A = this chain, B = another copy of it.
């Protein structure tokens, strides 16, 4: 995903820690029905780009935070992202057969277990956030992060996005409406990722403001590139079916502006994201590198 060898190493190292965290936070198999346990793991491992938890960890590092304070938020957000994919893939919604190059959860385990394992991942996210990072002194941080993440997961957040996305199918739409859909569907959780990481690092309001501006810009850029890949990518590289948006007459930037203008828009947003964090004194260039990598995504 990233170019500079140093970033690649750093990123691999963080990804391994995120995976270890996800593993550690999963409930003990003897406390959960085996089928449910398997369905939950199936959606988490091997995982996709891990963009959201990487952003949480990157924001924390940028502001000199301690990794152990950011890992719970990173893992909880990845669980929420995974649950939302499982539910959005269901026959009653996007009806997708393929995700990350494998059968979607409901194709593999049946609809009932797919729905319930999604519910379980969402609940698990809040179990984690209610207890981690441990210690009485971290209580106020846990509550702040809980608020940010619960809001992003809510009817005012990603669920609104999915509803708007479905309801706009085949309908005329304005650019304003499109930005609103994307902001809810993808933007709020990406924003919660960087904000919770920054909170874990004890960011003040000024730093949080920069981080939010960064999150907002790359959230939209990410979704535009996602839409471009649905037009230009292949099932092989993406691990999911392509051309769906056009078939479903979804509201997308390529449909509104065309490919070239959409690409330029994504480029400007990435530039804006980079500008937003220019004045932070970063302990790492990761946030900048991740922003740049979004334009180079092939999956």
Contacts and interface: CB of A to CB of B under 8 A. Distances in A.
Contact of A33 (B27, B92, B126, B160): B160
B36 A160 contact: yes
Nearest to A127: B150
A188 B127 CA distance: 15
Interface of A: 27, 31-33, 35-37, 40, 87, 90, 92-93, 110-113, 115-120, 122-124, 126-127, 130-131, 136, 139-140, 142-143, 146-147, 150-151, 153-157, 159-160, 162-164, 166-167
A123 B32 contact: no
Contact of A112 (B92, B142, B157): B92
A197 to B, nearest CB: 18
B32 A120 contact: no
A62 to B, nearest CB: 25
A155 B120 CA distance: 5
A27 B166 contact: no
Given A115-B87, A160-B36, A126 B146 contact: yes
B147 A130 contact: yes
A154 to B, nearest CB: 4
A164 B33 contact: yes
Nearest to A106: B92
B110 A123 contact: no
Nearest to A159: B120
Given A143-B130, A150-B130, A163-B36, A27 B155 contact: yes
A37 B156 CA distance: 10
A115 B127 CA distance: 21
Nearest to A80: B123
A154 B27 contact: yes
Contacts of A27: 154-156
B123 A111 contact: no
A265 to B, nearest CB: 25
B110 A163 contact: no
The 6 closest A-B pairs by CB, nearest first: A92-B111, A120-B155, A130-B146, A127-B150, A123-B154, A33-B163
B139 A127 contact: no
Contacts of A130: 143, 146-147, 150
A35 B113 CA distance: 26
Contact of A92 (B40, B110, B119): B110
